[in-house]
Structure 1
Amino acid sequence: MLKRRSLIARFGAATLLASSGVAHASPPSFQDFLESVSAEARRNGVSPATLQRAFSPIRPNDKVLELDRRQPEFTLTWDQYRDGRVSQQRIDRGRQAFADNRALLDAIASRYKVSPRVVVAVWGLETNYGGFTGNFNVIEALATLAWEGRRAEFFRKELLAALRILEKGDVAPERMLGSYAGAMGHPQFMPTSFERLAVDFDEDGRRDIWGTRADALASIANYLARHGWQEDERWGREVRLPAGFDPAIAGRNNRRPLRDWASMGVTAADGTALPALDIDTALLLPGGAGGQAFAVYGNFNVIRRYNPSDYYALVIGLLSDRVA
């Protein structure tokens, strides 16, 4: 059962609206909600046994609701975001992770044609190289968020996907752990992403992104490959802008061949000439005019499919350059 204060918060507003003459249906109980989800899951092939095992130990989780509701506005500057994530400790751990898993990473790269250093960087930023993958019961967290109402449709779809994953036997309910919002395992896949993009790289019959490093890292590579990673391109590079450069022409939507930017006086960060290539390129100024500048290519946009943030994709690129 929810704590008393949560029940008051949930139902108090409905009581006030009713007393003002506005008719609203009472929200379903958590048990009624689970019965509705169970009926839909059974229609999609999830067995009663799986549903019993998944739903019997769960209840609404106040901590999940608290974390969901108190998400702060994104107010970090580029320098703060970069320095907090591309730390020397993360770089050093990434270099060790790269060395320790080199044979596996090479095998994954051979199959998926994605740079091993980028796979390691995503792994490092998402879960600190598997150091913390989340300790919430994913079924309980998703059920809480789907029942509570905020983005209910989104989380109901993810909950149904999680139940299908359990039905297929990739993981037991007690091992299906992740973030408060349902992101799972080393890659922090949402259940629908898991269904589409997780792989069984070690061919043991299960896609285990929680406990099998081969499956987890290969799943990251498959995610990037399926979204268009180009093996022969880098993500981008830091550049130096010429005096008088107009910052208004920077941005992801103003793309032109790299050679054109070079002809305008843009150089590599160390002042050397950029290669005269036709690769489609945009310039980003994450800290505004006068700060760092980056030339980014198509693979940068592939990284953004993992997390639609320029800051995130830039940090993945910078970390990948430093771990290997």
Structure 2
Amino acid sequence: MNTVKRLGAALLLLGASSSIAMAQGAACGGDFSAFIQGVRSEAIGRGLSEAGVDRALASVRQDPKVLQRDRAQGVFQQAWLQFQGRMVNKNRLANGKQRMQQYASVFREVEAQTGVPAAVITSFWGLETDYGAVLGDFDTLNALATLSHDCRRPDLFRPHLMGAIALVDRGYLRPSEMRGAWAGELGQTQMLPEDYLAFGTDADGNGRINLLTDVPDVLMTTGKFIQHLGWQRGQPWLEEVRLPADFPFDRAALVSKEPRSNFAALGVTKADGTPLERDNVPASIVLPQGRGGPAFLAFPNFDVYLTWNNSLVYALTAGYFGTRLAGAPAVHEGNPQPGLDGDQMKQLQQRLVARGYDVGKVDGILGANTRAAIRQEQIRLGMPADGWPTRQLLSAL
């Protein structure tokens, strides 16, 4: 489920680690066999054993399918209601709740150590691999070697290639076991090798950190990783709310947090109509499909979901899934206005660029920069500034 965006987050979070620091300016391209010899020398130079490095690299080869996936990768283009409806289904909810009961004692220990609730960990576990059922079938060492050799982003992938070699050298995994996502993620919550090394925990005490099959190791490691991303113990992450008819939509922006009491004063209530807490907990209003669709309060802990994967559609689905596992009812879908298709979104982005906005790549994707530009144009045009691209807005531009 992860994209290369998560790799960028990991690079930022672990930027001070020795492997990443040493990989800056890494050589790439040229003869692949010569490249692998350079990787071997570097790994041994970092203190890994010759035997371990040779075990890891013995059968490494280029995988053209990895490069195809890398070049074709995209972010989530489905509307949020469509995507969450597919991902947060009855079976996944039921299976998640069953696993929360099955591993209740492990989850209690994880929360005691990290502050991360069972529902939050389970939401990632379910979405990433369907609780370990779908781990991915790309050879991890081949994938990371291929991406490191490719000269598009060697500094991004080479640290994780070194991490994957270290996993073999330390005896955590055998090369034949290392199969996962095309970008090198491994295990039941799709951890990158550097994260595996940094946060991997032998929670079941069997002497081996195994995130492929040992569920206690998976849960504790994931909890520690989420804690590292900034999780605040005992604080909320996401809550569905109801907006009043006269809500000022220019106050609905994920990047703009204000005390929850401010929204209560504006007439925002919980989804069932009961009052919001009038406290100073920072919060943002999130409208994934504009003013006619669902509305949420996102709290600082929701930023962890965005760091895990900075697609709002994915992050909001994972956060919402966590609330459902914690007992929240199904979302009120509302009646959102139809959005734009991919070609129309590109037209909208082109018109926004012509007006001086930086929307990033004109790709037909509703990303954060495009949403921000839409809101500014809606304000200029006297439209409700909900950040949702509509045919009316496209025509007005």
TM-score normalised over the length of structure 2: 0.72
Tell me, yes or no, if the aligned pair for 2:29 and 2:35 is still in contact at 8 Å: no
Question: For 1:88-103, what aligned pairs fall within 5 Å after superposition?
Answer: 88-103=90-105
Question: For 1:157-236, what aligned pairs fall within 5 Å after superposition?
Answer: 157-236=159-238
Tell me, yes or no, if the aligned pair for 2:63 and 2:143 is still in contact at 8 Å: yes
Q: Deviations over 1:99-152 (max 9, x none)?
A: 222222122222222111111111001111111111222111100111122222
Task: Select between 217-226 and 144-153 the one with higher mean Cα deviation.
Answer: 144-153
Match of 1:82 among 81, 84, 106: 84
Secondary structure of 1:57 counterpart: coil
Tell me, yes or no, if the aligned pair for 2:29 and 2:150 is still in contact at 8 Å: no
Instruction: Identify unmatched segments of 5+ residues in structure 2.
Output: 1-27, 327-397
CA offset at residue 72 of structure 1? 3.6
Secondary structure of 2:86 counterpart: helix
Tell me, yes or no, if the aligned pair for 1:262 and 1:273 is still in contact at 8 Å: yes
- 1:14 corresponds in structure 2 to none
Secondary structure of 2:285 counterpart: strand
CA offset at residue 262 of structure 1? 0.3
**In structure 2, what is the Cα distance between the partners aligned to 1:113 and 1:88?**
27
Tell me, yes or no, if the aligned pair for 1:242 and 1:265 is still in contact at 8 Å: yes
Provide the aligned C-alpha RMSD in A.
1.6
- Indicate how the Cα distance of structure 1 residues 224 and 35 shifts in structure 2: closer, same or farther if over 3 A, else same: same
**In structure 2, what is the Cα distance between the partners aligned to 1:148 and 1:314?**
33
CA offset at residue 208 of structure 1? 1.1
Instruction: Identify unmatched segments of 5+ residues in structure 1.
Output: 1-25
Is residue 2:174 matched to residue 1:139? no
CA offset at residue 73 of structure 1? 5.2
**In structure 1, what is the Cα distance between the partners aligned to 2:59 and 2:197?**
24
**In structure 1, what is the Cα distance between the partners aligned to 2:248 and 2:279?**
22
Identity between Structure 1 and Structure 2 (%): 34
- 2:126 corresponds in structure 1 to 124
Task: Select between 78-87 and 212-221 the one with higher mean Cα deviation.
Answer: 78-87
- 1:294 corresponds in structure 2 to 296
- 1:283 corresponds in structure 2 to 285
- 2:332 corresponds in structure 1 to none
Tell me, yes or no, if the aligned pair for 2:29 and 2:151 is still in contact at 8 Å: no
Amino acid at match of 1:46: L
**In structure 2, what is the Cα distance between the partners aligned to 1:315 and 1:208?**
27
CA offset at residue 247 of structure 1? 2.1
- 2:67 corresponds in structure 1 to 65
Amino acid at match of 2:160: E
Q: Deviations over 1:269-312 (max 9, x none)?
A: 11111111211111111112221111011111122222223222
CA offset at residue 59 of structure 1? 1.3
**In structure 1, what is the Cα distance between the partners aligned to 2:93 and 2:141?**
34
**In structure 1, what is the Cα distance between the partners aligned to 2:167 and 2:66?**
21
Amino acid at match of 2:107: L
